[in-house]
Amino acid sequence: MTTLGTTRQLGNSDLQLTPIGFGAWAIGGGDWQFGWGPQDDTDSVDAIHRALDAGINWIDTAAVYGLGHSEEIVGHALKTNTTKPYVFTKSTMTWGEDRKVVQTMKKIRQECEDSLRRLRIDTIDLYQIHWPVPDEELEEGWAVMAELKKEGKVRWIGGSNFSIAQMERAMKIAPLTSMQPPYSMINRTAEAEVLPFCLKHGIGVINYAPMHSGLLTGAMTKERVMTFPENDFRKRAKQYQEPLLSRNLDLAELLREIGASHDVSAGVVAIAWTLHNPAITAAIVGGRSASQVEGVLPAAEFRLTEAEFNEIADFIKSRP
């Protein structure tokens, strides 16, 4: 297997990650609360195979993506490809026969077993609490995560969407290998506290939505947003509504202009912007087809100059 870009160690683990990983949220399809609209499973498998063949060495999914469907597709793709990447998934967002998502940390052990079955693997490389909700169950949930690690069902444990206080509480029970926050030019909330805390304490960070769910790819338009299917969560997302939509598309145009001089897309520039932060170990990049994956592969090696980074910073300050 070829390695794409220089790998970086994830926190206190032995996992050496390529700068970008394959994000499997969108391939869960549209038939659930936070879906991205219809998705062809053949396209999904092709996208995963293209990522692995190019040298991306980790996949991030979650049980809730498509209510198990994303994990099943990842499992199928892994069985039909000779490359064996690291596999990361998440717990704590469950569902019943009514398909409504319920957040709880009381079913983590069963969730782990279900994920192993759907993914068709014996061990999860990184198992993460998807959302620490409800907050009062955090200690109980993290203790079970630590037990699963000791039992060898998972190799390393991390969190997603934790506050500083929640990370500190978890670390009193067992080490926290990684954190997964949203982080992009549009959503910089993690910059203030979460990223500095992780950097200080040696916690690896894999940020999700570096292109803010497609807004910064350079391929998004107002016309496309207007025609989103009803089961695409972005149709109702705040950043896809005016006046923010126009601001965000103007930002994407700036990224396209910067990328054009390097023969890369706006999305690649958006991903590189997040990797510029020293706290970020690697970025999760979604792909719904082989061609989409192909378009973001340069992000594994492309880096912004300081002048380009400052140009983007100036735009963000001028258009808050």
By the 10 Å C-beta count (0-12 exposed, 13-18 middle, 19+ buried), 104 is classed as middle
- Tell me which amino acid residue 56 is: I
Q: Is the peptide bond before 243 cis (omega within 30 degrees of 0)?
A: yes
pTM assigned to the model: 0.93
The C-alpha atoms of residue 193 and residue 26 are separated, in whole angstroms, by 28
pLDDT in tens, 269-312: 999 999 999 999 999 999 999 999 999 999 999 999 999 999 99
End-to-end CA distance of the chain: give it in Å, rounded. 43
- Residues 51, 62, 104, CA angle at the centre, nearest 5°? 170
Contact 180, 161 (CB under 8 A): yes
Choice among 65, 127, 183, 240 that is catalytic: 65
320 residues of the chain, pLDDT tens digit each: 445 778 999 999 999 999 999 999 999 988 888 888 889 999 999 999 999 999 999 999 999 999 999 999 999 999 999 999 999 999 999 999 899 999 999 999 999 999 999 999 999 999 999 999 999 999 999 999 999 999 999 999 999 999 999 999 999 999 999 999 999 999 999 999 999 999 999 999 999 999 998 899 988 999 999 989 888 889 889 999 999 999 999 999 999 999 999 999 999 999 999 999 999 999 999 999 999 999 999 999 999 999 999 999 999 999 87
3-state SS assignment for residue 173: coil
What the chain holds in terms of domains, given with CATH numbers, is 8-214+275-289 (3.20.20.100)
Q: Per this entry, what is the length of the chain?
A: 320
65 is catalytic: yes
